[in-house]
Structure 1
């Protein structure tokens, strides 16, 4: 009979022994690593996962991944995922969208999905080679709508705190014009009056319309909470999604509209956000944070500031720090974090360093906090799928480095000068949107790529995130 106070310790020890027993399976040294591919909407998570899997399966375009360049890599294969209740990430369908007769970018992620890819290699580390000459690393990856990431900060906010922050944000440009109908309804209600279901549904509907307007905004607004209001998944029309922020202080009246909204907010946190975090994010070993820096530049100062705030808030709930032998008892920590500016192929190659320097400035506070906790942090400019090439052209007697590709909405390659990336996030005075970095279609010949999808620094990103596991 176990003493109740030791139940958690006993269970943790049992899990540790179970993992030790599974470490050698069928004579092959085996490890699991859970990679969190995180980022806000439009950052390119789905394309990143697709390209990562395709390149690890084919291993023809990974010169800076040491296990490949040293000749120790043997092969990869897709395996059944560990969480049977989570839908599979349909990598074959995503590849067909990118490499089909009419190539197009994959559809936006509407729900959560997962994939496991196993890599077999010859260990370089003496200890691993002594145990077994061949080892396997199981890589688990989760894809999810970008808005769901922004639910995580709610775990540390009361309904009153969240309401005050959301209303303050909704009253500032450019959100003030988008929230007129919802804020107008708020001015007509008494939050201490007895709750009526129809009134709660009306408020939630107007608030949801406002969030959708933020999502469609040309300002690339990122801070959209709660995420399930715009991407409900299998929760559409559930009472858990029938609440909205309310003004003022919490009234003492039982059965009031405020009490109803607060109860549903807390239920949402408990049954949706906390469960989502525990099942998918609390178990992460490594993390890559994908950021559409060029899109934020296009959106202007408001979009850039909104994205920066959203990133800082979304990273707060994660456990970052150096790993230790006590992780089995205290819970896993993310010990390596990579911030990656995506879509680097949309600018000429000589601009990639400027893109990385701008990213450094945008994430400087978050990076400092993560490093303080003991985790290793790196920044890169990457493109999970390279859709352009850098070319040099003559213009008015001087040479310009441009990009050549097929812009979205066009049907033939075009040479474009994308402009210069600023060295900081400041915008020229009097120019609300001085940047216009264009998006491009996937290359037309991807079906013939036997070496893996072309990319920029995907292998360097993997070396930082997984290189030590593959030693």
Structure 2
């Protein structure tokens, strides 16, 4: 048997063994939380955990009416427990909660840059006949929340691509009108390189540096592009400077024989090392063990940047769904080959729009994921799409302007945000008229969909500070306001609390 097949067999065996260990350990749900940069993953997890652990103590059941187990009074308690994986960093829940609720110093917590984990233990009144038969009225569910950057998820398709195929796709994408200006320096350096020429470390490092700078520029708010693997190039961690992160695409043909010690051969070796030492361990140790998944999407950022960013986001979301092992779980698949049987796509920052546009935001996201959802639903996965805000930073108001009543959102814009010549100081509130999203979700792909220049785009989608927190008698912060967080909770875990 070839060594590659032996490696794949060993890989699958480890996945099955770890899945079996998860199954026999008890009632547990592994919930993956991901999304591309600045989509709100950290805020979502912090708000979710805070609502679960504080809702009963704060007597705020009415704030999660769609989350049935809580609304019906069946949750007895919820608390944090030590996480099961000792080799995974703990999600810094307490630190992030303090950032959101620290009075005048409140701010949004730092974005996800690595994998982390947190366990929430829920005790609830069970309807299960097997438990009632032995006189046990309550059951326990451990929810292991796994937080990871969405860019890592977009690396999974690389497992099925050769270096030549990835290089061709990456170079072709960089020639598109939306990317060509920011890729010019890197592409110019690549044109003058002979992949069959002798390898030199200086050349490899220069190409990798220019390629990484192109990826970094593409991620900025000005362009808001999404499909940018390899994901670790912008989040290197302790791999920074390693050969596994020092490669770049070159114009090589599939099946082309590259000379020993040529630059192309070395780039190919490093690409394969990236797959072996970065992508496969993430898939084996974390992704393949997930039961449920929420994918957070900052669609407003793409809309701000224009149709090219929207199309790129659609491609990224298609790649995301293609990466999942979708399918309805059964006993054997739960033990030996877990499959994610529920996936929720959530358009975040719904509080940046008036509620009359929430359905339109949801329709846009559903359209962006339409191709991939049809394929996933065909094999039994249950998928939903919502517009939400895990923490609501604004409130709605009706404002009179020149004798006309206008629907506005009111909040405290982050210092430096501007409307025209007016710059906010991070203290004063502002009433913003965000406008309406188009009725037809297909319109966002057309050049004149929103007819916005940069100033108008900023006017529509400002950034706001977190709301001022309220505190209970025990001086602990009460759960922050949200939009449809309870709907997300019900879809992701509600069926496990019966």
- So what's the TM-score if we normalise by structure 1? 0.92
Q: Cα–Cα, structure 1 residues 9 and 216, in superposed 2: closer, same or farther, change >3 Å? A: closer
Q: Is 1:129 matched with 2:153?
A: no
Pick aligned residue for 2:469 from 433, 440, 445:
445
In the alignment, which residue of structure 2 is the partner of 1:365?
A: 371
1:181 alignment partner, one of 185, 190, 201:
185
1: CA distance, partners of 2:129 / 2:385: 30
Q: Is the 8 A contact 1:119 1:136 kept in 2?
A: yes
* 1:245-275 deviation digits (Å, cap 9, x = unpaired): 0013234322211110001101101110011
- What does 1:389-428 align with in structure 2 at a 5 Å threshold? 389-409=395-415, 410-423=426-439, 424-427=441-444
Which one is further off, 80-89 or 130-139? 130-139
User: Is residue 469–residue 477 contact of structure 2 (8 Å, CA) maintained in 1?
Assistant: no
Compared CA separation, residues 267 and 411, structure 1 to 2 (3 A): same
2:241 pairs with 1:237? yes
Describe the SS at the equivalent of 1:326.
helix
1:387 maps to which residue?
393
Separation in 2 of the partners of 1:300 and 1:37? 26
How many equivalent pairs are there?
A: 458
Change in 2 beyond 3 A, CA 1:14/1:178: closer
Q: Name the CA distance, whole Å, in 2 between partners of 1:120 and 1:15.
A: 24
Structure 2: state its 5+ residue gaps.
1-8, 416-425
**Matched residue, 1:33:** 29
Match of residue 166 from structure 2:
162
Is 1:351–2:357 an aligned residue pair?
Answer: yes
C-alpha change, 1:174 and 1:446, in structure 2 (3 Å) is: farther
- The DSSP-based 3-state class of the residue aligned with 1:282 is helix
RMSD of aligned C-alpha atoms? 2.3
Q: How does 1:191-340 map to 2 (within 5 A)?
A: 191-249=195-253, 250-340=256-346
Distance in 2 of aligned mates of 1:222 and 1:70: 41
Contact 1:151 1:225 in 2 (8 A): yes
Q: Cα distance, 1:42 vs. partner? A: 1.3
CA offsets, 1:317-361, max 9 Å, x none?
Answer: 210111111114541011111111111111112221121112111
1:195 is paired with a residue whose SS is: coil
TM-superposed deviation, 1:193: 1.3
1:52 maps to what in 2?
48
Q: Does 1:469 align with 2:496?
A: yes
Matches within 5 A, 1:111-130: 111-130=114-133
Residue deviations 1:396-431 (CA, integer Å, cap 9, x gap): 333221101011223211111101011214246553
Residue 100 of structure 1 and its aligned partner are, at CA, apart by: 1.0
Deviation at 1:126, TM superposition (A): 3.0
Instruction: Specify every segment of 5 or more residues in structure 1 that has no aligned partner in the other structure, as ranges.
Output: 24-30
8 Å contact kept, 2:292–2:341: yes
Q: Is the 8 A contact 1:40 1:149 kept in 2?
A: no
| C-alpha separation in 2, matches of 1:269 and 1:383 | 35
Q: Is the 8 A contact 2:393 2:465 kept in 1?
A: yes
Matched, 1:146 2:153: no
Instruction: Render the CA deviation track for 1:277-319: whole Å, top value 9, x for unaligned.
Output: 1111111111111111111111101111111111111221210
Distance 2:351 2:482 in 1: 9
For the residues of structure 1 that align with 2:131 and 2:168, how far apart are their CA atoms?
54
Q: State the shift of 1:90 in Å.
A: 0.7
